[in-house]
Amino acid sequence: MKILVIHGPNLNLLGTRESDIYGTKTLDEINQSLNSLAADLGVELAIHQSNHEGEIVEIIQHSGKCSALLINPAAYTHTSVAIRDAIAAVDIPAVEIHLSNIYKREEFRHTSLISPVASGQVAGFGPDSYLLGLRAAVVVANANKSAS
């Protein structure tokens, strides 16, 4: 089973970016933890980071061979109809994740355009949100497989 992982804009700066909110782990370190959990769970990951909305849309459109999508849409969470529509258009379940608890932050972060097209959301556990999200992605991928 292959899981597509997408990190949205500015997440390439993790480690130095607003470390009081996002912590000090770099994106490489997060990806290493994800790959190590994926090996334990017996799944393969295809990991992408992009700062560009259209590129994220294209990655989602080409997700054909993946069984689930694990996505931190970052700032696009709150603005991107295009990413929401791309997720709705492909036939794979999505898990939305955030390092921070977006509901405890500024009001503009309280709305996610992605949640209505996701199977669920994990937010507020720092880098562990990714690991919890990966477990959730495997659960929804398996549920989707047995339903079809």
- Catalytic residue numbers, as ranges: 22, 98
The site for ligand DQA (CB under 6 A) is made up of 10, 72, 74-75, 77, 98-100, 102, 109
Give least dist CB 67 to ligand DQA, A.
23
The structure tokens 């959301």 sit at 121
- 3-state SS assignment for residue 123: strand
Give least dist CB 103 to ligand DQA, A.
10
- Our CB check for ligand DQA shows the closer of 2 and 78 to be 78
Q: What DSSP letter does each residue of 45-111 carry, written as one string?
A: EEEEE-S-HHHHHHHHHT-TT-SEEEEE-GGGGGT-HHHHHHHHHSSS-EEEEESS-GGGS-GGGS-
Give CA–CA dist 105/44, Å, rounded.
Answer: 33
Give least dist CB 142 to ligand DQA, A.
25
- Our CB check for ligand DQA shows the closer of 72 and 80 to be 72
- Our CB check for ligand DQA shows the closer of 18 and 145 to be 18
